[in-house]
Amino acid sequence: MTSSDEPVLIVETPASGVRLLRLNRPDKRNAITTALLLAIAEALEEGDGSEAVRCLVITGGDKIFAAGADIVEMAPKQAPDGLADLRPALWRRIRAIRKPIIAAVEGWCLGAGNELLLCCDIAVASREAKFGQPETNLGIIPGAGGGATLAKLIGRSRAMAMVLTGKPIIAEEALQFGLVAEICDSGVATGRAIELAQEIAARAPLAMQQGKAVVKTAFDHPHSAHLDFERQAFSLLFSTEDKKEGVAAFQEKRKPEWKGR
């Protein structure tokens, strides 16, 4: 249980270059209220602007990542409320983060929780994890990427099945569909995500950011435009100190010392 004065989001630094965001509403199954979504956006933006942070991790509890949006908060809203809602702007802020974000999922990841996962760049899940977009069970549909982004990621037919039936998929299916990158034993998803974040944090920061940007652009542009963007990002890295250091370290057979410049 959490008391009303406890933070809805706990921010930690578990390793050098890594910032961990832990959802902290266990008594509400980590349901994502507007206040929690705002805290996530602000924490991600703070990490995105910090030279000390190179990779971010988002995790939930041991039994649940997030059960979706907060139904109590959502219940009284009418159409005008939805159109004037602050949440779409908060989702856009989360999607705009430049640095890599890794999700660590234990247990249930549903609704807005799965949409938060879709905002991340890599996902690590325990074998007991389950993923779903059950909004149609409430007579509504996903509103923050659970239809649009999910279809681009896992394909039209699979996304249709998840959205229209509301039935969750298991971790093995999520891995097969490309929703998650890696499955691990129960209870170690966060630890594994931190290890992966450390690996990314040890690499050239600007290359990590541009690599993320290039892959994300594949979802938003025709392939020809995407290739042009990829080449531009590739070319820009040639003027960085990190590129010079990486080449020198390779030639000198030593470990590079990245500066993020």
Residue 1 identity (one-letter amino acid): M
Q: Is the Cα torsion angle 88, 94, 98, 104 positive or negative in sign? A: negative
**Homologous superfamily of the 9-201 domain (CATH):** 2-enoyl-CoA Hydratase; Chain A, domain 1 (3.90.226.10)
Strands (E), 80-175: 101-105, 108-110, 122-126, 130-132, 169-170
Q: Which tokens belong to 27?
A: 């008594």
84 has a pLDDT exceeding 80? no
Q: What is the pLDDT of residue 2?
A: 54
- Beta strands 130-132; 169-170: pairing state: antiparallel
115 has a pLDDT exceeding 90? yes
Q: Record the pTM.
A: 0.90
Please indicate whether residue 20 or residue 69 has the higher confidence score (pLDDT).
20
Q: What is the pLDDT of residue 219?
A: 80
Q: What average pLDDT does the structure give for the chain?
A: 91
Per-residue pLDDT tens digits for 160-182: 999 999 999 999 999 999 999 99
3 has a pLDDT exceeding 80? no
- Read off the pLDDT of each residue in 43-62 and give the average, rounded to a whole number: 97
Q: How far is the C-alpha of 131 from the C-alpha of 108, rounded, in Å?
A: 6
Residue range(s) of every CATH 1.10.12 domain in the chain: 205-252
Percent of the chain residues past pLDDT 70, beyond the cut: 95
215 has a pLDDT exceeding 80? yes
Closest by CA to 122, choosing from 185, 192, 169, is: 192
Residue 33 identity (one-letter amino acid): T
231 has a pLDDT exceeding 90? no
Q: What is the pLDDT of residue 30?
A: 96
Q: What are the φ and ψ backbone dihedral angles of 190, each rounded to 5 degrees?
A: -65, -45
Give the pLDDT band of residue 17 (cuts 50, 70, 90).
Answer: very high
Per-residue pLDDT tens digits for 126-139: 999 999 999 998 88
> At the topology level of CATH, where does 205-252 sit?
Lyase 2-enoyl-coa Hydratase; Chain  A, domain 2 (1.10.12)
